[in-house]
Amino acid sequence: MVEKVCFSIFLCLSASLIITIHFPEVNGARRQPQDNKLILNGPEKLFVFGDSYADTGNWPPTDASKPWRKPYGMTFPGKPSGRWSDGRVLPDYIAEYLGIGSPQPYRLWKGDGEAKQYGMNFAYGGAGVFDTFEGCPNMTTQINYLQQLLQQNAYTKHDLTSSVALVTSVGNDYGNYHGHIHGMEEFVESITEQLSVNLKRIHEMGVPKVAVTAMQPLGCLPAVTFSTGNYPNCDENTNNITRFHNQMLKQRVDKLNDQTEGSPFVILDLYAAFTSALNIKHDQHPGKSSFPYPLAPCCLGNCGLVDVSGKKEYGLCDDPKMAFFWDMTHPSQQGWFAVYSALKSSLPHLFHPQQALLRQFNGQNDNKRLKMLMNIE
């Protein structure tokens, strides 16, 4: 039999805990954390491209759309909001770090100033670097949307030069790969090459700092651990592909920085952040962490779906705060907070050098402030 690689997961990839946290509301006014007041001319806008790890509402709100069905959004904002989690996701935390409101989904753009106040989120659940399914805008198309807004004078050059971009690419292209195992290396190279083209294009449009996520350990997603029979451990073979992708991505980003003044491209290492939050040993075995069952999702089954009789096709954990994963592929809000905490040391690079020094100086106070707001020790 011809050996093939076919991920059985389709990663519609892309945080409030039962706590009190004063993040900017989705449609709220700009808030400026006290720690950021020392940062002069910090980023005023965030532009987001990618998939469901970054989508905050671009997926169409229909009855068939999972992120618009209960129990999604049960922690924040208390009802489905188009986020693929029980609450806040990565861009929400990045925006909070920058001291701005979470950027509006592009779907809500109606030509008004309010929707573009903090930038724009173009990420779409299920999207890839290349085409994944009909009607899903790939990353090039998402960047085209920003280009169109520039041509319509919705944004000025200053808007872009005072912004930062976040790009997530977390596996949907691999979810669509049905080729031979020996063709995987070439496929990885094509994905990372196109990612490099996309990052360069965003920067050349005027965005001074562009952050791209290294891919999370796909072999640790519940969808993979359950389907491969490796639960409660990660699938090492799948993680090997992830590591190769990240190695190739690093080479591409290093080359871009060598060719571009100011080293504007930054990698946010989701692989290291996930394994740190889950205390993964040897890329396979979860160790002791704040999550009692690290690789078990809070919403198990066909999360958000009901059968013809109205019976739920999923089970829900008692407390999402105790689960790193929300569903079979996406972190919970608590999971995203753990990932964000692990990424904190990388985030000063989103600022210009002088700003980064000031932000790093205040990092310890920022950690204390977030923990105090979230009422955790």
> Which active-site residues does the annotation give?
52, 327, 330
CB 67 within 8 A of CB 84: yes
Q: 236-259 and 184-204 are packed helices; what angle lies between their axes, rounded to 10 degrees?
A: 40
Residue type, 123: A
Cα–Cα distance for residue pair 321/208, rounded to 1 Å: 36
Give one word for 283, left, alpha or beta, with left for phi > 0 and alpha for psi -120 to 50: left
Contacts for 294-297: CB closer than 8 Å, 24+ residues apart: 294/232, 294/324, 295/220, 295/222, 295/225, 295/231, 295/232, 295/233, 295/234, 295/324, 295/325, 296/222, 296/231, 296/232, 296/323, 296/325, 297/222, 297/323, 297/325, 297/326, 297/327, 297/328
Cα–Cα distance for residue pair 159/157, rounded to 1 Å: 5
Question: Could you tell me the maximum CA-CA distance found in the chain, to the nearest angstrom?
Answer: 63
CB 320 within 8 A of CB 17: yes
What is the Cα 32 distance to its own chain's centre?
22
The token pair at 238 is 């799948």
List of residues 6+ apart from 324 with CB closer than 8 A: 277, 278, 289, 291, 294, 295, 331, 332, 334, 335, 338
- The DSSP annotation for 139-190 comes to HHHHHHHHHHHHHTTSS-HHHHHTEEEEE---SHHHHT--SBGGGHHHHHHH
Which phi and psi (to 5°) does residue 81 adopt? -130, 5
